[in-house]
Amino acid sequence: MVDKNMNGVFMGLVGQRGRKIALVGAGIPVGAALALGGVAVADRIDGPGVTIVQETRTVPEQGILSTNVLCKEGQRVVSGGYGSPEVAHRLDAPLAVPVSAPGRVSLDPKAPEDSWDLVLLNPSDEKIDIKVYATCVPLD
């Protein structure tokens, strides 16, 4: 059980400014590790058997698009996403993406993740064409 008064003691000792400094200080090594890890992963993805599947989809005006991009048979997905020059800098009606994650077509929970799933919300009064993609590698 946690003593509810301990939070007050901590705040009294460290203060609001101290908490911010501690969070920033903790974030620096974490951010560096993530950046270096991303570089390492990017280096490992580039190689034989890597396939990037890219397709075009249309998000309807003031609508929702739920879609996925499938890897070829015998492959699994390692990353994916979307892109569009139309939405890159739209501050008036930004495209919302509540889901951008690996998925599987099979209902078998032991099957490999072989698709990249996306849900996109378009608040604008115009349809938006986007490129959706999945980066796939061999199962072995």
Q: Look at residue 17 in the predicted model and tell me its pLDDT.
A: 46
Residue given tokens 């990249």 in the structure block:
116
Q: Look at residue 82 in the predicted model and tell me its pLDDT.
A: 93
> Which portions of the chain are predicted below pLDDT 50?
1-44
Residues 6 or more apart in contact with residue 25 via CB below 8 angstroms: none
Q: What is the pLDDT of residues 51-86, one digit of tens each?
A: 999 999 999 999 999 999 999 999 999 999 998 876
Q: Where are the domains of the chain?
A: 1-46, 51-138
Residue given tokens 């099979």 in the structure block:
106
In this prediction the pTM is: 0.64
